[in-house]
Structure formats: structure tokens, C-alpha cells
Structure 1
């Protein structure tokens, strides 16, 4: 049984891969952006992360979205829907939370299939 940890630190790894499945979390680099900007950044970063493990957004299995204000769900959904390839939406949960950095509006936890 092998668990691959990419860029591990004392508190987390950028990506953890086990049994052909990748797990990772992303937030926007620029926390001063509005919801649209944070989502665009976050999803661009997610694409880069997926590429590092030989995957892409069509291989997403599940995404958990942590949002600080449900008033931003419309903007989130607009960016999300434009980003996803047709007929490949993963299962999804969206939770209202308080994030560690109050400037963050959204954080996402991804689960994706990776190449063998």
C-alpha cells in the first residue's frame, strides 16, 4: 500500500494520491479578489494541480465547497458551470463556513481519478 504525498509539510501535503485517486484543497492566491475572481483563480490552480498527477477536470469525482456567504453562490455557480466540461460534473456539497483567513470567500476540497 503506497500513499504518494506531493510537497508535504508539517501540516499538509499539496496533493495526496492513493489507489488511483488524488485528494487536494485549493484557495485563491489573491484573497482580495471578489468571489468571481477567487473562483477563477482557484479553478485555474486546480487545473494545474490535476495536471501534476496526470488528471484533468473531467476526472473529478467529488468536490466539497466551503463558502463564507451564501449570497455569493450565484457568482460561484456561474464560474463553476463555465469551467466544467459538459456531462462531467462531479458530486458536490456546498457548506457555509468561517475560513481561517477572513479574506477568503471560498475553499474547495477536490477528489479526482488519476492515470494508472
Structure 2
């Protein structure tokens, strides 16, 4: 099991175990931005975590997306399609949720292949 050096005291942001990479929930670092910008930030953070743990080409198996408002699903799909352009499609689960901050509109966790 490999953990990065900069992990939170309570949990790891990313963990590699037996060829799988588990990415903790990622949110935008700028919650003042609109949904599409927050979604791009989140997807970039997932890719960064995969790369940090040694993932090749961001090979995703599964992504769980938490949305503050299900009205954002069409906007999510637009950003999602650009994000995964040319890559294999992972399993995706969408959850409507009250997120940790009122301005946070999206959070995502993922599982990838090392």
C-alpha cells in the first residue's frame, strides 16, 4: 500500500493498493466559481491524484459524483464528455447531496488503475 507524503491526518487523498488507485472526494479550490469551473477543477484534481499515485493515462474504473443540485446534471455531462474525450468511460454514480460548504456544487471520488 502506497500513500503520498502530503496526506491528511485523518485520511489519504489518494491511496494505491494492489494495482488500484483510490481517490478521496475532490472539490474545487475556488468555490466562488460557477458549476462548470468547479467541475473542471474537480476532474483535474482527480487526474492529479491518479498521476501522483502512478496511474498511467488516468485510467479510471469508477467515479462517484456528488451534486448539490441535480439541475446541474446537463452541465456536468458537458464537462464530463470533454474530460473523458479519447479515454475509456468509467462506471459513474451520481448522488444528490448536501455538500460540506454551501458554495460547493460538486465533489467526486474515484477508483483507477495503476
TM-score by length of 1: 0.88
Instruction: Give unmatched runs, 5+ long, in structure 2.
Output: none
Residues 26-69 of structure 1: per-residue CA shift (max 9 Å, x gap): 11111111110101111122222221122233x10000000010
How far apart, in 2, do the equivalents of 1:44 and 1:87 lie? 14
RMSD over equivalenced CA pairs, Å: 1.3
TM-score by length of 2: 0.90
How far apart, in 1, do the equivalents of 2:32 and 2:75 lie? 16
How far apart, in 2, do the equivalents of 1:51 and 1:8 lie? 15
How far apart, in 1, do the equivalents of 2:71 and 2:51 lie? 32
Flag as ranges the 4+ runs of structure 1 deviating above 6 A: none
Q: CA deviation at 1:106?
A: 0.5
Between Structure 1 and Structure 2, the one with more strand by share is 1
How far apart, in 1, do the equivalents of 2:15 and 2:54 lie? 13
Instruction: Determine the structure 2 residue equivalent to 1:99.
Output: 99
How far apart, in 1, do the equivalents of 2:46 and 2:63 lie? 11
Instruction: Determine the structure 2 residue equivalent to 1:31.
Output: 31
Question: How many residue pairs get matched?
Answer: 111
How far apart, in 1, do the equivalents of 2:13 and 2:109 lie? 11
Q: CA deviation at 1:87?
A: 5.5
